[in-house]
A and B are shown apart, each in its own frame.
Chain A
Amino acid sequence: MIEAGLKNELQKQGVYVTTLEDLYNWGRANSVWPLTFGLACCAIEMIAASMSRYDLARFGAEVFRPSPRQADLMIVAGTVTKKMAPLVVRLYNQMPEAKYVIAMGACAISGGPFKQGYNVLKGIDRYLPVDVSIPGCPPRPEALIHAIMTLQEKILNQKLTGPDRPRHLNADVPGEFPVPAYGEHDLEPSKNPEVWQPPIMTRK
C-alpha cells in the first residue's frame, strides 16, 4: 500500500502510481449498470435522472439493462407492495455478483405514506441488503445522482481482501436470498432475519 503523502508528492512531479486494487475498483465504480425496472412514481425521477437534463451517463450508470443477468445495481424505485416483493427478491437473486441495491424514496425505505397499509412492504431492507437509501417522496434526480456517487465511493473504498471484501470475492455470503411466499395474512416469512432485525425500542 502506498502512502497518500508520497503519492501526492510523486503526482506533483508528474509520476502517477496506483495499486491494482484501486484500478480494479475504479473500473467497477465507473461502470455500475442498473436494472431497468420501476415500481411507482420514484421511477419517473429515475428516468429523468438518466435523461439528458440530469445525465446519469456522466457517472457511467446510464446503461439500464433490461435483464437482471447483465445488471450490477438494483434501484428499488417506489412502493414495494407485498404482491411485488417476491418478484423483486427473485430479480435480485438473478443478478450476477457483485450486486448493489439502492432503496429510492420513502416507500422503498420504510413503506412511506403507505406504511399503515395492509398491502405495502415496510421497507425492502427486510429482504435485501440495501447499500444506499435515499430519503424523499419522491427524491429529486440530484438525490439519485448523489446516491450513485455515494455507492461509487463505497465501491472505491472496498478492500479486495479481508472480512469487508466485496460480495463476489467472498464465497461465504449467500448468492441467493430466500424469496417470500404469499401467506394467508402476510408474506411468509415476513422478513429475512439474516438481513434485517426489528429495532429494539427502549422506553425510559
Chain B
Amino acid sequence: MQTNTYLVLVLLMLAAVGFAAAPLAMAWAWAKFYSPQKPGKDKNAIYECGLESKGDAWIHFRSEYYLYGIIFLVFDVETIFLLPFAVSFAGLPVGAFVAMIVFLLLLVEGLVWAWRKGMLTWN
C-alpha cells in the first residue's frame, strides 16, 4: 500500500532526528546534573584572552562614513561586473555592449560626483 511506504520514511526521519538530538540531550542532562558548577567573575567574563575588557561596546560611528561606503561600492561593483564583461567581450552583441557602457558611465558619474565633493582628498 502507498501509505505504508511513507510510514517507513517517517520512521526513518524520526530515527534520524533522535540520533541527532539524543547526544545533545545527554550532554545537557550531564551538564545539568553532574558537572561541577563553579561560576565566578573571571569564568563568566566575556573575553578569553586574559585581559579584562575595557570601555563600552556601544560606541558612535560618524555618519560621514556612508560616503566611504558608497565609494567602496562603486569600485567593488565595477570590479565584479568588469571581469565577466572582459572575459566574454569578443562574443558580445552590440546591445549588451551598450548596456554595459551605460552601466559603467553611471558608476563613473558617481565617482565624479564624489571627486567634485572633495571626498578623494585626504584631510
Residues of A within 8 A of B (CB): 67-69, 86-88, 90-91, 93-94, 96-98, 168-169, 171, 175-176, 179
Contacts and interface: CB of A to CB of B under 8 A. Distances in A.
Contact of A179 (B39, B42, B48): B42
B50 A91 contact: yes
Contact of B40 (A86, A88, A169, A176): A176
A67 B38 CA distance: 18
A62 B52 CA distance: 28
B52 to A, nearest CB: 8
Contacts of B36: 97-98, 168-169, 171
A94 B38 contact: no
A155 B45 CA distance: 29
B51 interface: yes
Given A97-B36, A168-B36, A169-B36, A176 B51 contact: no
B54 interface: no
Contacts of A88: 50
Interface in B28-75: 36, 38-43, 45, 48-52
A94 B39 CA distance: 9
A68 B48 contact: yes
Contacts of A179: 42
Contacts of B39: 175
Main secondary structure of the interface of A (DSSP, over half): helix
A176 B50 contact: no
Contacts of A175: 38-40, 43
A27 to B, nearest CB: 13
B41 A67 contact: no
A91 B38 CA distance: 15
The 3 closest A-B pairs by CB, nearest first: A175-B38, A87-B50, A93-B42
Contact of B38 (A68, A86, A90, A97): A97
Contacts of A69: 48
B50 to A, nearest CB: 3
Contacts of B43: 93-94, 96, 175-176
Given A87-B51, A179-B42, 19 more contacts: A67-B48, A68-B48, A87-B49, A90-B42, A90-B45, A90-B50, A90-B51, A91-B48, A91-B50, A93-B42, A94-B42, A94-B43, A94-B45, A97-B36, A98-B36, A168-B36, A171-B36, A175-B43, A176-B38
A121 to B, nearest CB: 14
Contacts of A98: 36
Contacts of B45: 90, 94
A68 B44 CA distance: 12
A92 to B, nearest CB: 9
Nearest to A170: B36
A177 to B, nearest CB: 9
Contacts of A67: 48
Nearest to B48: A67
Contacts of A94: 42-43, 45, 48
Nearest to A93: B42
